[in-house]
Amino acid sequence: MSQIPVIVLKEDTERTEGRDAQRTNIMAAIVIAEAVKSALGPRGMDKMLVDSFGDVTVTNDGATILKEMDVAHPAAKMVIDVSKTVDSEVGDGTTTAAVLTGELLKKAQELLEQNIHPTTVITGYRKAAEKAAQIIDEIAEKVDPATPQFKKVLKDVAKTAMSSKFVATAKEQLADVVVDAVLSVAKARADDEEINLDYIPRQKQYGENIQDTELIHGIVLDKEVVHAGMPKRVEKAKIALLECALEIIKTEFDAKISITDPNSMQAFLDEEQRMLKEMVDKIVEAGANVVICQKGIDDVAQHYLAKHGILAVRRVKKSDIQRIHKATGATIVSKIQNLTADDLGTADLVEQRKIGDDKLLFIEGTPKTAVATILIRGGTEHVVDEVDRAIRDALYVVKDVVEHPYILYGGGAVETEIALRLRDFASTLEGREQYAVNAFADALEALPATLAENAGIDPIDILVKLRSSHADGEITAGIDIVKGKVRDMKKTRVVEPAVVKRQVIASAAECSQMILKIDDVISSKSAPVPGETPPDRDLGDED
């Protein structure tokens, strides 16, 4: 009986166990972290990503880099998920999260090679992450939204978020735009309500310079008026918002009409025209002077709308329709027959303007909800895309500070201070867990070392000086990348939201713990796509 083999798993299944599984997973995660490591900090390098269609993306945004990478290994995908989580929760710190995850696993690998059990490392990392969160709460500085300095702090936060991006040369102007946008939307919300960044849409338009990016207090649609005879500017607009088409609805099934004489043909055309005129008459009767339609508008309907001096645009995105509904108070009407004067929204001005080579529709002075559109400009499409990514990050961090008014100072100051205090905390622990806590501290210190390395500064020398400054009680001492030395980050105004640091450390710690807990990888080969022939099938003649 002992000689009979027992097959439990499928033939094509691969299994990796124990130390080999841990080593493989850790290596895959470290490789992903190393890929984005050189993009960290103000002097970080950009990556060029080319997808399967040949589309090119040039960026140093960690979330974008990792999202565009076509990764196969499951452990590597977990690191990418960390970056995505940080991006969706707080909007910034994506590169830091990926690099920190890699460093934590690198240090854990060294402990595993010293025969320290993975569970011990995981427990130590969990305690270190909890202690790090406490330290962040202790050293975070509260800012009062009621003070005049609050706006300056928000601007510093926005500039810090953009200093590592391509737009760093224009960060002064862009920071003003971002802060004004967030504050204008924040004022219109209830005190306990979150700031909805959907009310700060970004409209990309290449041409001009990055410095020409501007804030429009209203909604900008990438649409132009559908008929040349329509007005291009309407003041005190009454807006009809339609999700139905101003066209004759075709039947769901094929139909044929037999016409035997010219009079019947003319009667058929007249009936179509009468139905379209009825639709327009309904809009006129309701008192609308602007029509925004989610679907199409027939040429005949366009003619009648123009005749009545009504401005109309068509095929507007559903997200924009929702935004206009919230901002203007217009009811989204699904059947034109149901339109009444009560369904109309209002705006101070609706106007078509030419921006670059394109015509855009501006809706300004919306009464219900403050909406601020950022009109992004740049020399080429790639530049505009990168400006858009930088502004998105800046919007998120400013929103973070408005909702949670606690700040920290960057340049590696926070990581060095946490590392210093974790080492003191490690000495209070018994057993091998203190090795794991010290390893966590070493991983955190790798972040300022990477900042220095990417800026061409000797990481060992600068780290020694940083440790010395923090040992002397200088909590806000960090690396001044421009000067190449340790300085007070409070004076250089490198400001970051406390909530971002908390999220980065918590997410990186959780991911590293999950990867360390895996000691068995069982992978099945993917099932063949229906209709495809399996590669090993013999294609002989069939009877």
Q: What gap in Å lies between CA 403 and CA 271, rounded to an integer?
A: 58
List the one residue out of 468, 486, 488 whose CA is nearest residue 420. Answer: 468
What's the rounded mean pLDDT across residues 55-62?
A: 85
The token pair at 352 is 């078509």
Tell me the pLDDT band of 541, cut-offs 50, 70 and 90: very low
Higher pLDDT, 440 or 255: 440
Q: What would the pLDDT profile of 150-170 be if each residue is shown by its tens digit? A: 999 999 999 999 888 888 888
Q: What gap in Å lies between CA 165 and CA 161, rounded to an integer?
A: 8
What's the rounded mean pLDDT across residues 134-158?
A: 91
What's the rounded mean pLDDT across residues 408-417?
A: 91
Cα–Cα distance list, 156 to 30, 59, 136, 153, 175 (Å): 32, 22, 19, 5, 8
pLDDT for the residue 74: 84
Confirm if 362 and 347 have CB atoms less than 8 A apart. no
Percent of the chain with pLDDT over 90: 45
pLDDT for the residue 527: 46
List the one residue out of 185, 196, 181, 140 whose CA is nearest residue 404. Answer: 140
Confirm if 173 and 180 have CB atoms less than 8 A apart. no
Domain residue ranges in the chain: 14-142+408-523, 145-217+371-404, 224-369
Whether the per-residue pLDDT at 403 is higher than 80: the answer is yes
Cα–Cα distance list, 542 to 1, 530, 532, 536 (Å): 41, 20, 17, 17
Strand partners, 468: none
pLDDT for the residue 167: 85
Q: Other CB atoms closer than 10 Å to residue 463's CB: what's the count?
A: 20
Cα–Cα distance list, 256 to 253, 263, 408 (Å): 10, 18, 72
Whether the per-residue pLDDT at 482 is higher than 70: the answer is yes
Higher pLDDT, 522 or 247: 247
pLDDT for the residue 124: 93
| The CATH number of the domain covering residues in 224-369 | 3.50.7.10
Percent of the chain with pLDDT over 70: 90
Confirm if 167 and 210 have CB atoms less than 8 A apart. yes
Q: What would the pLDDT profile of 309-325 be if each residue is shown by its tens digit? A: 999 999 999 989 998 99
Confirm if 284 and 278 have CB atoms less than 8 A apart. no
Whether the per-residue pLDDT at 419 is higher than 50: the answer is yes
Q: What gap in Å lies between CA 67 and CA 35, rounded to an integer?
A: 13
List the one residue out of 43, 90, 97 whose CA is nearest residue 65. Answer: 97
- The one-letter amino acid code at 241 reads L
Whether the per-residue pLDDT at 365 is higher than 80: the answer is yes
Q: What gap in Å lies between CA 411 and CA 314, rounded to an integer?
A: 49
Q: What would the pLDDT profile of 29-50 be if each residue is shown by its tens digit? A: 899 888 898 888 888 888 898 8
Q: What gap in Å lies between CA 411 and CA 453, rounded to an integer?
A: 13
Higher pLDDT, 257 or 293: 293
pLDDT for the residue 223: 92
Q: First CA to last CA across the chain, in angstroms?
A: 42
pLDDT for the residue 9: 63
List the one residue out of 407, 355, 397 whose CA is nearest residue 86. Answer: 397
What's the rounded mean pLDDT across residues 174-192?
A: 84
Tell me the pLDDT band of 426, cut-offs 50, 70 and 90: very high
| The CATH number of the domain covering residues in 14-142+408-523 | 1.10.560.10
Active site residues: 61, 94-95, 393
Q: What is the DSSP letter of 411?
A: T
pLDDT for the residue 518: 84
pLDDT for the residue 234: 94
How many angstroms from the chain centroid is the CA of residue 23? 32
pLDDT for the residue 136: 94
For 435-459, give one letter per residue: b (16+ CB within 10 A) or e.
bbbbbbbbbbbbbbbbbbbbbebeb
* Range in 86-90, 294-298, 342-346, 528-532 the model is least confident about: 528-532
The token pair at 137 is 């709460």
Confirm if 175 and 152 have CB atoms less than 8 A apart. no
Confirm if 402 and 186 have CB atoms less than 8 A apart. yes
Higher pLDDT, 445 or 532: 445
Label residue 258 exposed, middle or buried (CB < 10 Å: 0-12, 13-18, 19+): exposed
For 39-49, give one letter per residue: b (16+ CB within 10 A) or e.
bbbbbbebbeb
**Three-class HEC string of 350-402:** EEEEEECCEEEEEEECCCCCCCCEEEEEECCHHHHHHHHHHHHHHHHHHHHHH
Tell me the pLDDT band of 538, cut-offs 50, 70 and 90: very low
Q: What would the pLDDT profile of 485-536 be if each residue is shown by its tens digit? A: 898 999 999 999 999 999 999 999 999 999 988 877 767 665 444 444 455 4
pLDDT for the residue 67: 83
H runs (alpha helix) in 487-526? 489-492, 498-516
The token pair at 204 is 């990309």
Assigned fold of 145-217+371-404: GROEL; domain 2 (3.30.260)
* Range in 233-242, 250-259, 283-292, 293-302 the model is least confident about: 250-259
Which backbone phi and psi does 329 adopt, to 5 degrees?
85, 5
Most confident of 3-7, 10-14, 155-159, 273-277: 155-159
pLDDT for the residue 23: 85
Q: Other CB atoms closer than 10 Å to residue 316's CB: what's the count?
A: 21
Strand 495-497 vs strand 56-59: parallel, antiparallel, or unpaired?
Answer: unpaired
Q: What gap in Å lies between CA 153 and CA 431, rounded to an integer?
A: 44
Q: What is the DSSP letter of 466?
A: H
pLDDT for the residue 103: 93
Residue whose tokens read 């500017």:
233
Label residue 286 exposed, middle or buried (CB < 10 Å: 0-12, 13-18, 19+): middle
Whether the per-residue pLDDT at 442 is higher than 90: the answer is yes
Mean pLDDT of all residues belonging to the chain: 86
The token pair at 173 is 């102007």
Q: Other CB atoms closer than 10 Å to residue 518's CB: what's the count?
A: 17
| DSSP three-state, residue 161 | helix
